Amino acid sequence: MTEANLTHPVKRSIAQEAEKLSGEISGINRAIFDKPEVCYQETFAAALLQEKLVAEGFSVKSPVAGLPTAFVATRKGSGAKGASAKAPTVALIAEYDALPQIGHACGHSLIAATAFAAAAAIVRAAPDFPGTLQVIGTPAEEGGGGKVRMIEAGVFRNVDAAIMTHPSNKTRVVARMFAVTELFFTFTGKAAHAAAFPYKGVNALDAGVLFYNAVSSMRQQLKEEARVHGIFTHGGDAPNIIPEKVEMAFYIRALDREYFQEVIARVRQCAQGAAKSAGCKVSIKQRGMVYDPFYPSYPMGQAFRANMAAINAPEDDFSETEEIGSSDIGNLSQVVPSLHPEYAIGGREDINHSRNFLEAVISKKGHAAALAMTKAMAMTVYDLLTDPQLMAETRRAFKKTK
C-alpha cells in the first residue's frame, strides 16, 4: 500500500477494499478484453458487470432506453434514511465496447473493471453512506453514442454527478474534449466522354477538389481549438468519363458549442462555393448524432486530485486542451456535472486505438494504474455522497457553465 498520506479513516478502508479487489479488476478486464464486442453488441460484458453488481447488493435494471446492452445498477446507502431529501445520487459510468478489428485498443475493458471495483469498494467499506450510488452501463461509446440515447430517454434525470476514468497515454484529471459531427457531401455534375465531348460534361470531381482545397485554406483562419478533416469516399467511375458524382465525408470538431456551429456553417459554405465554381449541385447531410464538447466539473476535479495525492498517484503536466479527442461523455457533461480523468497505462507513445495500447491494456503497469484510479474514483464518489459542501460547489459550478 502506498497510502501514506491517507489519514481519513473511511477513505483508508475504501482504498484497502479496492486493493483487495485487485484480482477482480484484472479478471473482469481480461474477460472483456478476450471477448471484444463492438457497438451495441456488448452482451457478454454487460451481463458480466450486472452479475457482479447484483452480488454486491445492487438492484439492476436492463435494458434501459431500449438498449439491450445498457443498464442501471442502483444501491441506496443505509445512511440514506436519516439523511435529508437532498442526499445526492452519484453515478459511476461504465463503458465496455470494443473497436472493430483491433478489439479493446481503447481500454474500455479497464473502464468496466474500475467502475465495478470502485462501486464494490464503497459498499464494502462504507455501506452507511447517505444518498444513492449507481453504476450506469453505457454501450457504444465508439461512434454509437449510447450515452446520447440514454440521456434522451431520461436515464440520467436524477443523477447529480457522474464520473468515469479512461485509459490513456498520460495521467490528467481535468481535460476538455471536442464536440464532433460528421458531414456527408455529394457533388453532382454530368457525365460525358472525357476525350470526345469534355465540353458536354460537368465535372463533379473538380467541385470536390475545389472543396477540399477551400477547406485547407480556411483551416489557416480557424482558431486552434477547431479541427476539420475529411476524405473522398467516391471520386468517379472511370478516367474516360467526366465524373458525375463525387462523395466526401468530413469530421468537424471544436471545443466550444457556438464556435462549433460557426465552423460547420463555414465548411458548408466552402462546399457550396466549390459546387458553384464547377457548375455542379451539392447536397449536404449531417449525421444525426452529434457529440457535444466535454465541460469538466472543476470542483469534482479538485476532489479527485486531492484523493490522488493521498494515495501518491502523480499527475502528468498537460494542458486541458492538449492531445484531446471526442466522446459521448461530452453530451453527459452538458446535463450532469461530470468528470473524466485519464490515466497512463503504458508509455507516452502508447496511444489509444494502437497495437501498443492493446498490449498496455493487459500489462502490469496498466493494472497498477487502473487500481490507483479505482481508489481515487471511489474516494471521490464517497466525497460527493458525504460532503454536502462539495456537492453544492459542484452544482454551482455546473450552473455557471450552462
Contact 173, 161 (CB under 8 A): no
Which triple of cell numbers denotes residue 156? 440520467
Q: Please report, for residues 60, 222, 233, the alpha-carbon distance to residue 381 in angstroms, rounded to integers and kept in the order given.
A: 19, 39, 45
Q: Cβ 93 to Zn ion, closest distance in Å?
A: 12
What is the rounded CA–CA span in Å between residue 112 and residue 372?
15
Report which of 343, 397, 9 is spatially closest to residue 166, judged by C-alpha positions. Answer: 343
Q: What would the x/- binding string for Zn ion be over residues 98 to 137, using CB under 5 A?
A: --------x-------------------------------
Q: Cβ 174 to Zn ion, closest distance in Å?
A: 17
Q: Cβ 257 to Zn ion, closest distance in Å?
A: 22
Judged by CB under 5 A, how many residues of this single chain contact Zn ion?
Answer: 1
Nearer to Zn ion, 98 or 118 (CB): 98
Nearer to Zn ion, 177 or 207 (CB): 177
Nearer to Zn ion, 106 or 370 (CB): 106
Q: Cβ 259 to Zn ion, closest distance in Å?
A: 24
For the chain, the distance separating the N- and C-terminal CA atoms, rounded to the nearest angstrom, is: 41
Nearer to Zn ion, 130 or 144 (CB): 144
Q: Cβ 75 to Zn ion, closest distance in Å?
A: 26
Burial letters 329-359, b for 16+ CB under 10 A, else e: bbbbbbbbbbbbbbbbbbeeebbbebeebbe
Q: Cβ 106 to Zn ion, closest distance in Å?
A: 3
What pairs with residue 230 in β-bridges?
A: 250
What is the rounded CA–CA span in Å between residue 242 and residue 4?
72
Chain centre to alpha carbon of residue 340 = 8
Nearer to Zn ion, 262 or 320 (CB): 320
Asked if 140 interacts with Zn ion (CB under 5 A), we say no
Residue 88 sits at the vertex; the CA angle it makes with 83 and 90, to the nearest 5 degrees, is 135
Contact 36, 45 (CB under 8 A): no
Nearer to Zn ion, 106 or 125 (CB): 106
Nearer to Zn ion, 258 or 349 (CB): 349
Nearer to Zn ion, 236 or 330 (CB): 330
89: left (phi over 0), alpha (psi -120 to 50) or beta: beta
Residue type, 264: I
Sign of CA dihedral 358, 359, 365, 368: positive
What are the strands of the beta sheet with 179-188, ordered from one edge?
226-234, 245-254, 179-188, 281-286
Nearer to Zn ion, 106 or 113 (CB): 106
Which residue shows C-alpha cell 461509446? 141
Q: Please report, for residues 49, 145, 349, the alpha-carbon distance to residue 355 in angstroms, rounded to integers and kept in the order given.
A: 26, 24, 11
- Residue nearest Zn ion (C-beta atom): 106
Q: Cβ 351 to Zn ion, closest distance in Å?
A: 10
Q: Cβ 297 to Zn ion, closest distance in Å?
A: 19
Q: Cβ 243 to Zn ion, closest distance in Å?
A: 35
Nearer to Zn ion, 353 or 365 (CB): 353
Q: Cβ 291 to Zn ion, closest distance in Å?
A: 12
Residues that bind Zn ion in the complex, under the rule CB under 5 A:
106
